[in-house]
Amino acid sequence: MYLNSKELSAFDKYLNGLYSGQKVALSIFNHIKKFHPNFEDNKLSKAYVQEKVLKLKDSKDKRISNELHKLFQWLEEFLVWYAINNNALLKESILLEVYKEKKNDDSFYRQLDTIKKQLNDQKAGIENFLHLIKVWHQEYYYASTHKVSKNNQTVQKAFVQLHVFYQLLRLKYYCEIKNRQGILQNTLFDYPKSLEPAIDNEKTLSAFDLLSRVYGHLFNLITSSSDIDFNILKEIFCSPEIQNLNHEDQNILLSYLTNHAIKLNKAGKPEGPKHAFDIFDYAIKNEILKPEDSISESRFHNIVNTACAQKEFKWATYFVESFSIGLPREGRESATLISRARISFGRGDFEKTLELLREAKFKDHTYTLQSKILQLRCYYELGISYRKSLKALISSFKIFLKRNRTLSQNTIDSCLNFVRILELLYKNRQSKQEIEATMKTSQWLVCRPWLEQKMESYPSQFE
């Protein structure tokens, strides 16, 4: 369970404030916190803590397990306390429930007004509509509320908000379904066509507020790949207006925009990578993406590859060193190593790239693929003196691909086609036109732009 520096400091104060008398547990905590944030050191082993920190001689002594159990319980208590105290709306909502249960009318209605004001000040998010519905529901059905008063419009307000909430949430889910269908290239599941959002209605809806406008344009982007909608959304994202959206919707917009930019690149539009870099750069500079946030390996690699495509190697290095802490622990080391190798390759330091990858062992076959392909490209770039290394790696890579049972067939075909064309390039036995024809007929092909670049200098330096 990862705590950032601010949270760790708060947990330290929490423990010393409430459990200052628990000397053994606190000594363990004080030892562990020294190794934040990675917690990767032999001194964190149970045996070391038992002998050096607790000074216990008997290896079967259960005190360390008991003390660690206490620490974990206190950590869970702290996380609940910390979440409530750092989320004003959550704190006020819990207090509202208390006043309701205690039947304290004055405090209940005063608390309702406080929550309504907080919701108006909140960043835009679909869940805000749900909170408002709940607030008006609680107000209307509270025992002391005069339900037949002409001035009581709470149930009508809840009804309208429910409609907007449903429209927006349906639109949000529909965009995600269509986006996943495009990525996975299947229909995922069948649903009645009547459930699809009507585009005219969504255009009308988009006139309301920022959130509705964003999802209205995302609807058009997903369904028609409209560059007009992409440009409008990019303008919203790369402006102070994006700060009015909550973190979840900021990240959804970030994903859709960068996915579209990558599609532009695949469609042969050179502005795609520049669009993607501008968006990632703005997201980092304006803390939409933060080093302490969790980040998926796919997004991490997309950002590194995008920066390298723009030759922003210093920027890419900063990103790798600062943001790798947010990667899942099991893939962090591999992702960081491959990214550093990718940056070295982009800088033209092929020897360093090979040095980084030569002794690397990857558990994940995806990283093994990336490593082998980078090494093949390095050998080719380094020329005739690495001909034997290139030939040997091509041979072993083919065997690896043909024996592999976990990779998708499309991935295997992409890599085999890459190897086949690379062989044609270094053997210099076919005409340039024949190799170009082979590339055009290869539907699945990894590193196509790099191969096309190498074609420009064909025949190769392996003559």
Give domain limits for the chain: 5-85
Closest listed residue to residue 273, CA positions, set 282, 284, 265, 263: 265
Buried (b) or exposed (e) across 220-254, using 16+ Cβ within 10 A? bbbbeebeebbebbbebbbeeebebbbeebbbbbb
Q: How far apart are CA 399 and CA 405, in angstroms?
A: 12
Contact 278, 322 (CB under 8 A): no
Quick one: which of 363, 295, 254 has its CA closest to 2? 295
Q: What is the pLDDT at residue 200?
A: 52
pLDDT on residue 202: 46
User: How many angstroms separate the Cα of 212 from the Cα of each of 48, 181, 204?
Assistant: 56, 23, 9
| Joined tokens for residue 384 | 């005739």
| CA of residue 173 relative to chain centroid, distance | 18
**Any bridge partners for residue 245, and if so which?**
124
**What pLDDT score does 457 carry?**
84
| Contact in structure between 187 and 193 (CB atoms under 8 Å) | no
Give the pLDDT confidence score for residue 394 in this predicted structure.
94
State residue 52's pLDDT score: 80
Helix locations, 150-238, DSSP H: 154-184, 199-205, 210-224, 227-237
**Angstrom distance (rounded) from CA 357 to CA 343:** 13
Q: How does pLDDT run along the chain (463 residues), one tens digit per residue?
A: 678 889 999 999 999 999 999 998 999 999 999 988 778 788 888 888 887 888 877 666 678 888 899 999 999 999 999 999 999 999 999 999 999 999 999 999 999 999 999 988 888 888 888 888 999 999 999 988 888 787 888 899 899 888 888 888 888 998 888 888 777 766 555 666 666 676 554 444 444 588 888 998 998 898 888 889 999 999 999 999 999 999 999 999 999 999 899 888 777 788 888 999 999 999 999 999 999 888 999 999 999 999 999 999 999 999 999 999 899 888 899 999 999 999 999 999 999 999 999 878 888 888 999 999 999 999 999 988 898 999 999 999 999 998 888 888 999 999 999 999 999 998 888 888 889 899 999 989 999 989 999 998 887 666 5
Nearest to 414 by CA among 451, 443, 455, 453: 443
Q: At 26, which amino acid appears?
A: L
> Which pLDDT score is estimated for 190?
64
Alpha-carbon distance values, 220 to 127, 227, 229 (Å): 23, 10, 7
* Nearest alpha-carbon partner for 67 in 22, 3, 15, 33: 22
| DSSP 8-state secondary structure symbol assigned to residue 245 | B
3 state SS of 68: helix
**Nearest residue to 347 via CA among 367, 327, 374:** 374
Q: How many whole angstroms separate alpha carbon 55 and alpha carbon 45? A: 14
Which H/E stretch holds residue 120? helix 105-121
